[in-house]
Amino acid sequence: MIPEYLVRALLASVMVSVLLGLLSPLINAKGLAFLTHALFHSLLFGAVLGMILGLVFENLSLVTLVALIVTVALVLLIAHLEKLGFSPDSAVGIVASFVAGLTVLGFGVLYKVMASRPYFPLGESIVSYLTGDIFLITLNDLTALVLGGAFLFFVILFLYRDFLYLSFDPEGMESYGGNVRAYLMILYVLVGAIGALIVQTVGLITLQVVAILPGAIALMVSSDMRKVIAVSLFLTLGVQLSSVLLAYFTDIPPSGIATIMLGVIYGALLFRR
């Protein structure tokens, strides 16, 4: 009989694969790899702040909610800085540097709060947040992932054609009356929201890799965007499910296995060139 936690992990992997499989080509086509770096800092700061509030209010379920709110707010700040005239790299660099300092300060506050509440198993939560442990996902976590993921999936699907125009021909989009800045801001928010939603299953350390490499590999295989999206989806799904099954038999963290698999595929394609 298949263990219940394995079934939950496999279902979560399917949801994560669909979201990353659709998002990764957009990240690569629009050149948002550096944005995911700022996303890393935002999620870590949001998680630390959420853990502090979770300890204070004795409700650790606040971690994901606070991380989501903080990440979306900071992503919107990056978009606003770009609107003020900063280059995308400068806007990301400014926010990432500022948030990195806040994160360090946040850890200092977190340690003091933890010392006053030693009965909370927060040390394990921090490790699982950084490395990802999809086997620890609860039924409530899975429900939130599926419902939130389904909403984000339909938003991406509805606007996907517009995002492709935004990536390849923003001037043409403007000439037809499209609001490039509005679509860019929506795309930024989607990147942040998806990152916050899946980070506990994928792991903060490996999130940037699994968000970028599937789309990068797909673009190396084909220039037809339909094929690129299909390759990204099937590659992400195959890697995520394979990593979960291998982790089940080897006791190795699935996020690490997924990252290595994607790296090997990407490296093999580079050597073939």
| pLDDT at residue 262, as a whole number | 92
Q: pTM of the entire structure?
A: 0.86
| pLDDT at residue 125, as a whole number | 62
Number of domains in the chain: 1
225 neighbors 161 (Cβ within 8 angstroms) = no
Residue 50 backbone dihedrals phi, psi, to 5 degrees: -65, -35
| pLDDT at residue 273, as a whole number | 66
Task: Count Cα atoms within 13 angstroms, Cβ side, for 196.
Answer: 31
| pLDDT at residue 147, as a whole number | 93
CATH number assigned to the domain comprising residue 239: 1.10.3470.10
pLDDT mean by block of 10 residues, the chain; 273 residues: 85 93 90 76 85 79 82 85 82 85 87 71 63 81 90 93 84 77 85 86 84 91 89 94 91 86 91 76
| CA dihedral for 23, 192, 170, 162, sign (positive or negative) | positive
Provide the residue range defining the domain that includes 226: 4-272
